[in-house]
Amino acid sequence: MARGTRVGLDAPRRGAKTRAPQPSRDRFGRFTEWVARAMGTPAFLVILSLFCILWIGWNTLMPEEIRFDDAALGFTALTLMLSLQASYAAPLILLAQNRQDDRDRVQIEQDRQRAERNLADTEYLAREIVALRMALEDRTTQVVTRDVLRQELRALLAELQSDDDEPPTTKRESSA
């Protein structure tokens, strides 16, 4: 690089090859969740039941020349189809559950952090309220009530009267 040129980490290097965008790794996870959600619906159960009824009806009621699964052999092809569907459904459902567990774990951690912040805020506010109450109590003890003022004035008046009763020389000596 030439001297004096700044290299910014937020910009691509000149001449660097750009990569083609990568397909989302999350696409398969979303697909598994879609499959798991779809298999848990009444519509899926109705469609699967209708499929089985049509399969069995076709291979039982139609002429033997156009049947493709023999009822005498226990509908082997239908059994294989349902087994294949189940063998793929179970891992897809488990993958979807794992993804949901991961999301739940993140949500629980966020809830815990939020609860900690709320607790800290509540404790802070409680301390502030106590400090305000204490400040108010200090101020109320400093406020002079009428009775306290009267007592103080009487005490000062009595002190002044006692000072007037003393001879003038005593006042000067005591003040010196």
Our count of domains for the chain comes to: 1
pLDDT at 129 over 70: yes
Taking alpha carbons only, the member of 6, 114, 22, 57 closest to residue 68 is 57
Q: pLDDT at residue 74 above 70?
A: yes
Residue 5 lies in a domain: no
Tens of pLDDT, residues 153-171 = 899 889 888 877 766 555 5
Q: Full-prediction pTM beyond 0.75?
A: no
- Whole-angstrom distance, CA of residue 25 vs CA of residue 22: 8
Question: What pLDDT, on a 0 to 100 scale, did the predictor assign at position 66?
Answer: 92
CA distance 16 to 8: 14
Q: What is the pLDDT of residue 176?
A: 47
> How far is it, in rounded angstroms, from Cα 164 to Cα 161?
5
Q: Which domain holds residue 117?
A: 28-165
pLDDT tens readout for residues 2-12: 555 555 666 66
The answer to whether residue 91 sits within a structural domain is yes
Instruction: Identify how many contiguous H helices and E strands the chain contains and give both numbers.
Output: 5, 0
Segment 24-72, tens digit of pLDDT: 678 888 888 888 889 889 999 999 999 999 999 999 999 989 999 988 8
* CB-based contact 96:32 (threshold 8 Å): yes
What would you report as the CA-atom Rg of the chain, rounded to the nearest whole angstrom?
Answer: 45
Q: What is the pLDDT of residue 72?
A: 85
Asked if the structure places residue 4 within a domain, the reply is no
**CB contact at 8 A, 52 and 78:** yes
Please give the structure tokens belonging to residue 32. 């598994």
Nearest to 97 by CA among 24, 40, 167: 40
The whole-angstrom separation of Cα 157 and Cα 146 is 16
**Is 21 inside a domain boundary?**
no
Answer for the pair 38, 44: CB distance below 8 angstroms, yes or no. yes
Residue 171 lies in a domain: no
